[in-house]
Amino acid sequence: MPLKFIAPGAVMISGPADQDKMGRTAMAGPLVNIVITTVLLVMIPALGSGWLFDAVLAGASINSFLAVFNLIPVSIFDGHKVYVWNHKFWGALFAISLAMTVYTTFILHPL
């Protein structure tokens, strides 16, 4: 595709921030990816097949994968901040995004 919608970047909080603020801020990115994936998945049944179906499915697959990737609990990713803030919430977000990635990548569009 000639257009790229993926841009690397980091969210920085200036000033004092406790774990609650850091966790809530860090969950915003993966949560937006999950919402975008959900919206795209809702659109898919109305599309049938063809290039538009493929484009929407690719968008859903990319966004769900980005959510999984960002939720890896390693210090530089959002997942670490969310995990430190709330283990259960991190687990729910990770499970949802992983399920969406498997669904969009392997079930809706098998290799």
Q: Are 61 and 104 in contact (CB under 8 A)?
A: yes
> Is 47 part of a structural domain of the chain?
yes
Arithmetic mean of pLDDT, 62-91: 94
Mean pLDDT, the chain, rounded, equals 88
10 lies in a domain? no
Provide mean pLDDT across the span 21-27.
Answer: 89
Please give the pLDDT value at position 16. Answer: 79
Flag whether 11 is in a domain: no
Count of domains observed in the chain: 1
63 in a domain, yes or no?
A: yes
Give this prediction's pTM: 0.84
- Confidence check: pLDDT of 74 > 60: yes
What residue numbers bound the domain in which 24 lies? 19-107
Cα dihedral value 86, 31, 20, 85, nearest 10: 20
Is the pLDDT assigned to residue 11 strictly greater than 70? no
| Domain membership flag for residue 83 | yes
Asked if the structure places residue 30 within a domain, the reply is: yes
Query: According to the model, what pLDDT value does residue 18 have?
Result: 87
Q: Is residue 9 part of a domain?
A: no
Other CB atoms closer than 10 Å to residue 108's CB: what's the count? Answer: 14
**Mean pLDDT, rounded, for 63-76:** 93
Please check whether residue 4 lies inside any domain of the structure.
no
CA dist., res. 16 & res. 74, Å (int): 22
